[in-house]
Chains A and B, each alone.
With several copies, the nearest count.
Chain A
Amino acid sequence: MNMVEAIRDAMDIKLADDKNVVVFGEDVGFFGGVFRCTQGLQEKYGTSRVFDSPINESGIVGAGIGMAAYGLRPCVEIQFADYIYPAYDQIVSEAARLRYRSAGDFTAPITIRSPVGGGIFGGQTHSQSPEALFTHVSGLKTIIPSNPRDAKGLLISAIEDDDPVVFFEPKRLYNGPFDGHHERPASNWTKHPLGDVPDGHYTVPIGKASVFRPGRDLTILTYGTMVYVAEAAVNETGVDGEIIDLRTLLPLDIEAITASVQKTGRCMVLHEATLTSGFGAELCARVQETCFYHLEVPVERVTGWDTPYPHAQEWDYFPGPTRVGNALKAMMETV
């Protein structure tokens, strides 16, 4: 099962087992979404459960909050994460604050799905990774799965969660794991163990990282597409990196992180978003707080540059396996 199918399966299961679940967003109804994540769901559950929304991201989230306050569990789609900013006020000032400001009287159990990341030659408005803009907001949970199995289990957890969840889907992973070698043929999920998605209802817990690849030399903290880039770089350099797939950014699995870095003594933080004030900054800060006396070299951030996501220079922007590999080697060389 690819990631699109896994995500669709999660919504399908929740639509079937909870009549309060509704799914909407731009083009998600009759058409089934520009990435096809909701294909067939309107036909199966009707237009009251799965429907098109006007092109108004603020309204999608705002109406979702009203529905959630009523008692529904909306799972909404923002067509690209680059278009989530018009909804930013509704997410930050409303969804994230409602429980707190009403002392639990009203809540907003809404799931906001949105494709993130580049690598599809989409230019600056189809490529961004804005996760750090959400991890700074108290009251929100932020999830980024890296494979179909996690995506399904985490999306079910998100929809069942009683708080608002921002669920970012690395669009470059929809069809297959992607290691950053854009010049090579694309692989797909059918051949990958994590494309083997269990049937029916299961959950992957929010707030738990997974050790994607155990290793002894160095810890790589990463998530989403970059998990595979890290894997490629590890394989190509021979550095025995332990790759931690964070899966949830907030709440962060600091225990898993600390255990790994205290073991390896070296830590790289890897993401596609721009460097400054990216989520990698928080990871650096936490790691040096909990592992200071174990660190042999500074925590190294390998990330997108502090520029908008370019179109033609996409692969110069993208922190691919070469850049990651060079950084890995440099970190192992430093005394």
Chain B
Amino acid sequence: MSKYAPLEFTVPEPASRPGDDADFSDIDIPLAGTVRRPPIDVSPSEIKDLSSTMIRVLRRDGAAVGPWAQEGIDDLLLTGLRSMMRTRAFDERMMTLQRQGKTSFYMKCTGEEAIAVGHQLALSPGDMNFPTYRQQGLLIAQEYPLTDMICQILSNERDPLKGRQLPVLYSSKKHGFFSISGNLGTQFIHAVGWAMASAISGDTKIASGWIGDGSTAENDFHSALVNASVYKPPVVLNVVNNQWAISSFRGIAGGDEATFAERAHGYDIASLRVDGNDLMAVLAVSDWAIERARRGHGPTLIEWVTYRVAPHSTSDDPSKYRPREESDAWPLGDPVIRLKNHLVQRSLWSEERHSQAEAEFEDEIRTAAREAEEFGVMGEGSSARDLFEDVFKEMPPYLREQRQKLGV
């Protein structure tokens, strides 16, 4: 009847599902050291190519190469390695606590440690992160007290958030760590607003916003980019592309044919795509974007390419939706091992020191956990009185009445 064939509806599918072999052949990975490093005041339109490639520093053999390789940062690299290792050890310990029924819920960042750790090391005191639930590295890299973190996870008497938040949704203004929302994406525009405020106030502080690949689909991603585009505030917009959003792969967020970094083009925002499992690349690109922002050259969006090795959370079983061995096949490797290899090659580190450090961190965290558990687990020690505090600055009479009704 019609000269046109019936239309078809297509839904993108990941390259592999449970039972298939893992397949990452669709991910193009340029050799380390091959991507140029533009000046920090470059105009966004001049670096569009940098959103479609991948900035990498650490070569497979451990050498640091190319224009993004920084020198004279040995101490920083050692700190980075330690922070990544501590983050990983922390995650492992917390999983154990969850299995022991001491907390209801936990979320690991295994395989993604380089991103938060490296970025935090590039920030300055007073700068503000607007994180998601997978940036524990931001706190751990700056010596936030592990006991406090665990008290929050256990929702106990010493929980800095007084039992009000789900485990892992930390908040610490002092550590430049904005209160994590359980609602995805909302913080991205907060980061932009905070950065606008810094500029309005003639300050020199910058904001760093965080979002997952899946959450870029949320509308707040757009409001953040539109406002960043219009006012050019000092903000770094980090997209952590770990390939998965619970059970849906990056293609369900429209990140299959175009990269997430390319989203920035239409907004005249500088953007870079980076190997997120390469701590040296993370440090160098973070430095670049932070300096660009702080010098008044405006926002940068960074796509950090990585892989969510862990289940989404302790409530998730990824073997239901992706090949079990997918994470082993992940072509960018393990960020801890890659940095270790570099440092060992340069004799700044050794296998023995690595094992020692592992033991040391395990110990440190076990001690912190023990200390924290003394104040209760699974909500023990939280006070019903706290239920009514902080709804407002001053408790209005009707809330006082409700508290009385509860008898606390």
Interface residues of A (CB under 8 A from B): 20, 22, 26-27, 29-31, 34, 47-49, 51-56, 58-59, 62-72, 82-83, 85-86, 89-90, 93-94, 97-107, 121-126, 138-139, 141, 162-163, 207, 251-252, 254, 275-276, 305-308, 310-314, 316-317
| CB <8 Å contact, B227 and A59 | yes
A99 touches B392 (CB 8 A): yes
**B163 lies within 8 A of chain A by Cβ:** yes
Q: Tally of A-B residue pairs with Cβ under 8 A?
A: 265
With a CB–CB cut-off of 8 A, which chain B residues contact A30?
17, 247, 321
For residue A121, which residue of chain B has the nearest CB?
A: B104
Contacting residues, chain A, for B386 (C-beta < 8 A): 310, 313
* Dominant SS among interface residues on chain A: loop
B391–A125 contact, CB under 8 A? no
Candidate in B178, B190, B402 with the most chain A CB atoms within 10 angstroms: B190
Verify B197–A125 contact, CB threshold 8 A.
no
Residue of B164, B215, B246 touching A311 (CB-CB under 8 A):
B164
A113 to B261, CA, bound (A): 33
A65 — which chain B residues lie within 8 A by C-beta? Answer: 189-190, 193
Bound-complex Cα distance A125 to B173 (A): 21
The reply to whether the CB of B47 lies closer than 8 angstroms to some CB of chain A is: no
Task: Decide: A94 and B382 in contact? CB cutoff 8 A.
Answer: no
Rounded to whole Å, the gap between the CB of A247 and the closest CB of chain B is 15
A58 lies within 8 A of B248 (CB): no
- Chain B 290-330: CB-based contact to A (< 8 A → 1; otherwise 0): 00000000000000000000000001000011000000000
B219 close to A (CB within 8 Å): yes
> Does B179 lie at the interface of the complex (its beta carbon under 8 Å from any beta carbon of A)?
yes
Nearest 7 CB-CB pairings of A with B: A66-B193, A125-B182, A312-B163, A59-B223, A62-B189, A63-B193, A312-B382
In chain B, what residue has the closest Cβ to A56?
B217
* A39 CB to nearest B CB, Å: 10
Known interface pairs A22-B200, A67-B200, A106-B178; 11 further A-B residue pairs with C-beta atoms within 8 A, sorted by A's residue number: A31-B320, A34-B246, A52-B252, A58-B223, A90-B189, A93-B181, A101-B164, A124-B165, A124-B166, A305-B402, A310-B386
Contact A59 B172 (CB under 8 A): no
Q: Determine if A106 and B173 form an interchain contact, defined as CB atoms under 8 angstroms apart.
A: yes
The residues of A that contact B218 with a CB separation of less than 8 Å are 55-56, 86
A-B CB contact pairs (8 Å), 17 listed: A26-B246, A30-B17, A58-B220, A62-B189, A63-B196, A65-B190, A67-B196, A72-B200, A83-B184, A86-B218, A86-B219, A98-B179, A99-B392, A102-B171, A103-B162, A125-B181, A139-B392
| Cα–Cα, bound, A151→B402 (Å) | 30
Across-interface contacts of A122 in B (CB, < 8 A) = 166
A54-B252, A316-B408 as given contacts; A66 in contact with B192, CB under 8 Å: yes
> Which residue of the partner chain B has the closest CB to A30?
B321
**Which residues of chain B from 376 to 397 have a CB within 8 Å of any chain A CB?**
379, 382-384, 386-388, 390-393, 396-397
CB < 8 Å: which of B189, B222, B390, B398 contacts A100?
B390
CB < 8 Å: which of B164, B219, B320, B402 contacts A58?
A: B219
Contact A307 B388 (CB under 8 A): yes
Q: Is the CB of A275 within 8 A of B252?
A: no
Q: Are A313 and B220 in contact (CB under 8 A)?
A: no
Q: How far is the CA of A307 from the CA of B398 in the complex (A)?
A: 11
B11 close to A (CB within 8 Å): yes
Which residues from chain A contact B130 at a C-beta distance below 8 Å?
Answer: 66
Out of B160, B196, B254, name the residue touching A66 (CB < 8 Å): B196
**Shortest Cβ distance from residue A208 to the other chain B in the assembled complex, whole angstroms:** 12
Are A62 and B186 touching (Cβ within 8 A)? yes
Q: Does B399 contact A (CB under 8 A)?
A: yes
Residue of chain B at shortest CB distance from A139: B391
Smallest CB separation, B336 vs chain A (Å): 29
With A and B bound together, what is the CA distance between A207 and B391 in angstroms? 16
A51 and B192 CA atoms in complex are apart in Å by 16
Q: Is the CB of A313 within 8 A of B320?
A: no
CB < 8 Å neighbour of B172 from A34, A105, A275: A105
Interface pair A306/B223, CB less than 8 Å apart: no
CA distance A14 to B189 in the complex (A): 25
Selected from A64, A99, A107, A313, the residue in CB contact (under 8 A) with B387 is: A313
> How far is the CB of A253 from the nearest CB of chain B, in Å?
10
**Given contacts A59-B227, A123-B166, are A101 and B161 in contact (CB under 8 A)?**
yes
- Judged by a CB distance under 8 angstroms, whether B245 is at the interface is yes
- CB of B95 within 8 Å of the partner chain: no
Task: Judge whether B73 is part of the interface by a CB distance below 8 angstroms.
Answer: no
Q: Contacts A54-B253, A93-B181, A307-B391; is A251 near B398 (CB within 8 Å)?
A: yes
| B252 and A66 form a contact (CB under 8 A) | no
> Which residues between 127 and 168 of chain B lie within 8 Å of chain A, taking CB atoms?
128, 130, 155-156, 159-167
Which residues of A lie under 8 Å from residue B166 when comparing CB positions? 122-126, 311
CB distance from B75 to the nearest CB of A (A): 31
With contact pairs A102-B171, A313-B382 given, residues A70 and B194 touching in the complex (Cβ less than 8 Å): yes
Q: Across the interface, do A313 and B163 meet the contact criterion of CB distance under 8 Å? A: yes
| B347 contacts the other chain (CB 8 A) | no
B214 contacts partner chain A, Cβ-Cβ < 8 Å: yes
The distance from the CB of B299 to the nearest CB of chain A, in whole angstroms, is: 13
Tell me if A56 and B223 are in contact (CB < 8 A): yes
Q: Which residues of B contact A55 (CB under 8 A)?
A: 184-185, 214-215, 217-218, 245, 248, 253
Chain B minimum-CB-distance residue to A100: B390
Would A123 and B193 count as touching, CB distance under 8 A? no
B379: chain A residues within 8 A (beta carbon): 121, 311-314
CB distance from A285 to the nearest CB of B (A): 13
Q: Quick one: given A54-B254, A125-B181, are A207 and B396 in contact (CB under 8 Å)?
A: yes
Q: Does B226 contact A (CB under 8 A)?
A: yes
B226 and A66 contacting across the interface, CB-CB below 8 Å:
no
Query: Residue B5 at the A interface, CB < 8 A?
Result: no
Contact (A51, B11) CB under 8 Å given A30-B247, A99-B391, A105-B171: yes
B11 near A29 with CB under 8 A, answer: yes
A103 vs B388: C-alpha distance when bound (angstroms): 11
- B9 contacts A by Cβ under 8 Å: yes
Task: Select from chain A the residue with minimum beta-carbon distance to B245.
Answer: A55
B246 is contacted by which of A27, A124, A139, A314 (Cβ under 8 Å)?
A27
B 190-219 contacts with A by CB, 8 A: 190-201, 207, 214-215, 217-219
Partner of A63, one of B178, B192, B246: B192
Please, which residues of chain B bring their CB within 8 A of the CB of A138?
Answer: 391
Picked from B10, B186, B388, the residue with its CB within 8 Å of the CB of A90 is B186
